[in-house]
Amino acid sequence: MKFTRARGVGLLGIFIAIVLLFAVNNSLGNKITETSKIQSIWDFTSTIRIPDSAKMKEDPKAPPVAAIELPTMVTISLICGALILVGGVLIAKNPERGWVAPYMSSVIGFGFFSILLWAVANNSVDLSDTLSRVVRLGTPIAIGALAGIVCERSGVVNIGIEGMMLTAACFGYAAAAISARMIYGESLPENVVKGVVWLPLIIGIFGAILTGGMMAALHAWLSIRFKVDQVISGTVINIMAVGITGFTRTNFLLKFESPLRAGLPQMPLGPLADIPLIGPILFDHKPITYLMILMVIGLNFFLFRTVWGLRTRAIGEHPKAADTVGINVNRMRYRNVIIGGMIAGVAGAWFSLEGSFGFDDGMTNGQGFISLAAMIFGKWNPIGAFGGSLLFSSADALQLKVQAYNFDLPSQFMQMLPYVVTLIVLAGVIGRAKPPAASGKVYEK
């Protein structure tokens, strides 16, 4: 029997699952022992509750009502058992492709879940709230990854996503603030103060998209017209973004009085939002999060089912072949890089109009780079990149959640978690990802 990556990952998965099985069960048991005098470590009384959001919404003050209640030990044991079983299948069957990434993601995801349970032992934790946060925090990462895919699939490396997002966040916010002032004056009229002021916010989103597109146009111009090394050009974008936004903030945004007080609102999707577990995770979000999901599905369709997608994939892989059948490679690259920048602009809008309201220096906080990691994780496929984004954002959500519970691990270590996960994933657990062959290469006839 040969040692292959699939088998290695299977083995690793089994090992982690066994460790979790004993570590989590054991420590849960110990904690419970201290407080409630239950002697057995195999405690069957602790439960994982999935709240019934519909009922809880009717009366927010009543004690939480559970729609589904699962015994903790049994659930963990079953999940660990399943992971061990699948790991065994991996070792026995040695599948060529398609198994490793989903399996490793499940192991890591379950690992996070276990750490969470461990941290909150004996307290109640709202699982759907945590998972909903994963989707929320994953939104800018996923959108950034889509931006990267559009660029790199056409053969242009875009390391400047971070900078495009940051600039878009800054000018998106500025556009919203200024347009609100122009429309409403010093303060919002009485009748709209409570409601949502859609118009300036939408102008803000478009401002962000436009800004992203302009930054990307600069990247395209430098790397296609002047054949600047694409990594250098992207770095220029990133450094420039810090300067431009810092200047704009101190010299303008801080002094500007805008009547706008709140960003994009929560928009639960009617009855869909009341489905237990699924509802809060998928159907109770702000607009850009929904947009992200549509964009993932949309880009997947465009990339693999349309003429544009076929040509994009061709010029990123073998531009000369595309050229000989009459496709204008550089024009398409310009177009794709700019579209990518506009997509990154949407992610920028998330930071200053949806995730929080307002602009701070460096508020994108490296998420643009994590986007690129998610893109690589997903092997330049939209759906895969979306999965990668959720993986990274769940590390982020976990550290936020765990910190809230006075967990006895220094918070700095927990904050490192998303980046450590990124590092491990990129170091090859998922396998070597092969970028589009012509990515990063200038096309000359």
Q: Residue 249 or 313: which CB sits closer to other proteins?
A: 313
Residue placing its CB nearer to other proteins in the complex, 126 or 317:
317
Which listed range, 141-149, 157-165, 198-206, 430-438, lies at the site for other proteins (CB under 8 A)? 430-438
Q: Which of 62, 254, 294, 307 binds other proteins (CB under 8 A)?
A: 307
Residue 94 in contact with other proteins, rule: CB under 8 A: no
**Least distance in Å: CB of 320 to other proteins?**
6
CA pair distance 429, 372, nearest whole angstrom: 17
CB of 16 to other proteins, least distance (A): 24
Residue appearing with tokens 């073998």: 318
Q: Which is nearer to other proteins, 255 or 445 (CB)?
A: 445
Of the residues 38, 267, 327, 433, which one makes contact with other proteins according to CB under 8 A: 327
Position 297 contacts other proteins (CB under 8 A): no
Least distance CB 165 / other proteins (angstroms): 28
Residues 47, 36: Cα–Cα separation, whole Å: 15
CB of 310 to other proteins, least distance (A): 6
- Binding residue for other proteins (CB under 8 A) from 35, 325, 410, 412? 325
Q: Does 317 bind other proteins (CB under 8 A)?
A: yes
Q: Which of 65, 310, 416, 426 binds other proteins (CB under 8 A)?
A: 310
Distance separating alpha carbons of residues 194 and 291, to the nearest angstrom:
24
Does 357 sit near other proteins (CB under 8 A)? Answer: no
- Minimal CA–CA distance to 167: which of 58, 78, 94, 246? 246
**150: which DSSP letter?**
H
Instruction: State which residue, 4 or 47, has the beta carbon closest to other proteins.
Output: 4
Q: Select the span of 67-75, 132-140, 319-327, 397-405 touching other proteins (CB under 8 A).
A: 319-327
Asked whether position 437 contacts other proteins by CB under 8 A, the answer is yes
- Our CB check for other proteins shows the closer of 188 and 322 to be 322
- Any idea what the Cα angle at residue 19 is, between residues 15 and 23, rounded to 5°? 175
Sign of the dihedral through C-alpha 207, 210, 215, 216: positive
Side chain identity, residue 103: Y
The one among 306, 331, 383, 411 contacting other proteins by CB under 8 A? 306
Q: Is 326 in the site for other proteins (CB under 8 A)?
A: yes
Q: State the DSSP code for 357.
A: S
Contact 206, 130 (CB under 8 A): no
> Among positive and negative, which fits the CA dihedral 256, 260, 262, 263?
negative
Residue in this structure with the two tokens 């270590």, named with its chain if needed: 413
Query: DSSP assignment of 76-115, as one string?
Result: HHHHHHHHHHHHHHHHHH--SSSSHHHHHHHHHHHHHHHH
97 binds other proteins, rule: CB under 8 A: no
Asked if 347 contacts 148 with a C-beta cutoff of 8 angstroms, the reply is no
Q: Candidates 28-36, 178-186, 254-262, 300-308 — which segment interacts with other proteins by CB under 8 A?
A: 300-308
Which H or E run includes 140?
A: helix 127-153
Q: Which of residues 61 and 432 has its CB atom nearest to other proteins in the complex?
A: 432
Q: How far apart are CB 260 and other proteins at their closest, in Å?
A: 37
Distance CA 288, CA 350 (A): 6
Mask for 249-288, x = binds other proteins (CB under 8 A): ----------------------------------------
CB 128 within 8 A of CB 361: no
Binding flag, residue 183, other proteins (CB under 8 A): no
Give the C-alpha separation, 10 to 234, whole Å: 38
Q: Is 314 in the site for other proteins (CB under 8 A)?
A: yes
CA–CA separation, 244 vs 249, rounded Å?
Answer: 9
**Per-residue tokens: 128:** 């759907």
Binding site for other proteins (CB under 8 A): 4-5, 305-311, 313-314, 317-318, 320-327, 432, 436-437, 445
